[in-house]
Amino acid sequence: MPLDKKRILIAKPGLDGHDVGAKVIALALRDAGAEVIYTGLRRSPEHIVRIAVDEDVDMVGLSILSGSHKELVADVVSRLESEDAGDIKLFVGGTIPDEDHADLRDAGVSGVFTSEMKIETVIAEIERQLS
Amino acid sequence: MTAPRPRRRISRELTRIANAPVDSVLAEIGDSAPASRPRIGVTGPPGAGKSTLINTLAAHRIGANLCDTMAVLAIDPSSPVSGGSILGDRIRMDRIADLPGLFIRSLSSRGARNGLCDNIVDLLVALERHAFDEIVLETVGTGQSEVEVAELVDTTVLIVPPDAGDSVQTMKSGILEVADIIAVTKADMPGAARMAADIGTILRARGDWMPPVVETRGDGTGVPRLSDEIDRHRAWLAEARPHAVSNARRRRYHLRALIARQAEEALSGDRHLAEGALADAYEKLTRKLGVG
């Protein structure tokens, strides 16, 4: 499988009340062969970065519906860097307006996935970046 | 470039060990040093509350200064179809996730069928080398026969939920015989006291150790007693079983696990190996492995 032995953290920072999208992505990644660590709801950036480091993941996927993606991403990126873990790839999914995509990429995000995208497209892009 | 911080160094080392094929285990990782840190195994059926119990147990033991540092290895099953996995044990470990002395690693069983995972022996030894005070090993959700965890740990805690019903009967020959302590979880649910009493009638002493039955709740009720029983068992074990005996058992497990993986690697690397008459296929396989 393309993502064999790849380790991916799917995390929900902030105050979102549900995690349907995060679970859909987690299952699709598992079906592509990945080992997916899932955190559950409402985790702080500090907590997410610690999990990413302890679990030695290849990629962190943040699922954010609340609108505070810019702040949360900036926080996670700076914490990853201060843990010498800036090489861990960061993806963001959820409710992200088009006009924010470029800013998120400038901030260090390798991929922005919205709910309109087909899941196959999302998985293919993750496979490409992690191969 | 600065040196990676210790947490990241440990975590990368664990990845390297988990991914090591048998040849590199033998060449690079090599002999498992005699275990020098107490190991607690937590096993039981799926949904019994293993992760929740570890959450409260670790919070108690670190909070009460029974240990300063603890490493948790939590294994979840891999998909037989894709080989991937969802490692969700952390969802229930929210109470302890920020404790500085705690290190949690989620592992995929990667096809192992004994409730454990590939290279688990080497992973445990690596954590011991990093001098964690205690190591907790959580198996995948198990049935009655996954008893091998007891060969790798000092104290095996079997988790039984109150609604396990007749399945306790089926554990009679199997995991109940190797458990050192039984925790009946979700003790606020009806049937927990009955379950604890039923198990008590089935249990047999091993030597002069009578496995205690402890009732626990998700909020931590009963966990201090469980923790005391773990310490009591550890003290008993120090008298009853020389460390060399434990090490010999672990060595035998290690060798069996390496052979099983070598066979798996050979079979998946050459699909013709399994063809032909059974005796011929066996001959080919053992020749390939250089045994027999």
d(CA B284, CA B292): 10
For residue B263, give its domain range: 250-289
Question: Is residue A50 one of the residues assigned to a domain?
Answer: yes
Interface test with chain A among B86, B102, B107, B268, by most A beta carbons within 10 Å: B86
* Same domain, yes or no: B280 and B230: no
Distance (Å) from the alpha carbon of B146 to chain A's nearest alpha carbon: 23
Residue B77 scores a pLDDT above 90: no
List the structure tokens of B63.
């909070």
List the structure tokens of A23.
């679970």
* Same domain, yes or no: B109 and B195: yes
Nearest CA-CA partner of B76 in B145, B138, B15: B138
* Same domain, yes or no: B60 and B203: yes
Are the Cβ atoms of B82 and A54 closer than 8 angstroms? Answer: no
Question: Is residue B259 one of the residues assigned to a domain?
Answer: yes
Q: Kindly report the pTM of this predicted structure.
A: 0.90
What is the structure's pLDDT at A22? 85
Question: Is residue B33 one of the residues assigned to a domain?
Answer: yes
Least confident segment among A14-18, B133-137, B263-267: A14-18
Question: Is residue B167 one of the residues assigned to a domain?
Answer: yes
pLDDT digits (tens, 9 = 90+) for A35-76: 999 988 888 899 999 999 999 999 999 988 888 888 889 999
Is some CB atom of chain A closer than 8 A to the CB atom of B71? no
The residue whose two tokens read 């690596």 is B126
Which CATH number fits the domain that encloses residue A22? 3.40.50.280
Give phi and psi for A59, each to the nearest 5. Answer: -155, 145
* Same domain, yes or no: B136 and B171: yes
d(CA A3, CA B240): 47
What is the structure's pLDDT at A31? 93
Is some CB atom of chain A closer than 8 A to the CB atom of B156? no
Residue B221 scores a pLDDT above 90: yes
Chain B CB contacts of A46 below 8 Å: 98
The residue of chain A nearest to residue B109, with distances taken between CA atoms, is A35
Question: Is residue B45 one of the residues assigned to a domain?
Answer: yes
Question: Is residue B204 one of the residues assigned to a domain?
Answer: yes
Distance (Å) from the alpha carbon of B24 to chain A's nearest alpha carbon: 17
The average confidence (pLDDT) of chain A is 89
Neighbours of B46 (CB within 10 A): 12
Q: Which residues of A touch B (CB under 8 A)?
A: 1, 3-5, 7, 26-27, 29-40, 46-47, 50-51, 53-56, 83-85
* Same domain, yes or no: B235 and B280: no
Q: How many domains does chain B divide into?
A: 2
Question: Is residue B94 one of the residues assigned to a domain?
Answer: yes
Question: Is residue A2 one of the residues assigned to a domain?
Answer: no
Question: Is residue B162 one of the residues assigned to a domain?
Answer: yes
Question: Is residue A81 one of the residues assigned to a domain?
Answer: yes
Which CATH number fits the domain that encloses residue B84? 3.40.50.300
Distance (Å) from the alpha carbon of B48 to chain A's nearest alpha carbon: 19
Q: How many domains does chain A divide into?
A: 1
Residue B269 scores a pLDDT above 90: no
List the structure tokens of B249.
């058992």
Neighbours of B33 (CB within 10 A): 11
Least confident segment among B123-127, B151-155, B265-269: B265-269
Last residue within a domain, chosen from B241, B263, B279? B241
Residue B4 scores a pLDDT above 60: no
pLDDT digits (tens, 9 = 90+) for A6-23: 999 999 887 777 778 888
Buried b (16+ CB within 10 A) or exposed e, A61-90: bbbbbeeebeebbebbbebbeebbbeebbb
d(CA A55, CA B105): 6
* Same domain, yes or no: B35 and B176: yes
Last residue within a domain, chosen from B206, B222, B241? B241
d(CA B111, CA B122): 17
For residue A62, give its domain range: 7-130
* Same domain, yes or no: B126 and B179: yes
Is some CB atom of chain A closer than 8 A to the CB atom of B272? no
Is some CB atom of chain A closer than 8 A to the CB atom of B117? no
d(CA B46, CA B140): 7
* Same domain, yes or no: B67 and B160: yes
Highest mean pLDDT among A63-67, B31-35, B46-50: B46-50
What is the structure's pLDDT at B1? 37
* Same domain, yes or no: B171 and B51: yes
* Same domain, yes or no: B100 and B232: yes
The mean pLDDT value for B205-216 works out to 92
Distance (Å) from the alpha carbon of B218 to chain A's nearest alpha carbon: 17
Chain B CB contacts of A32 below 8 Å: 82, 84
Nearest CA-CA partner of B254 in B26, B47, B4: B26
- Counting residues of chain B whose pLDDT is more than 90, the rounded percentage is 37
* Same domain, yes or no: B279 and B236: no
Is some CB atom of chain A closer than 8 A to the CB atom of B87? yes
Which of the four pLDDT bands, split at 50, 70 and 90, describes residue B2? very low
B63 φ/ψ sector (left φ>0, alpha ψ -120 to 50, else beta): alpha
Question: Is residue A26 one of the residues assigned to a domain?
Answer: yes
* Same domain, yes or no: B219 and B270: no
Question: Is residue B200 one of the residues assigned to a domain?
Answer: yes
d(CA B50, CA B74): 10
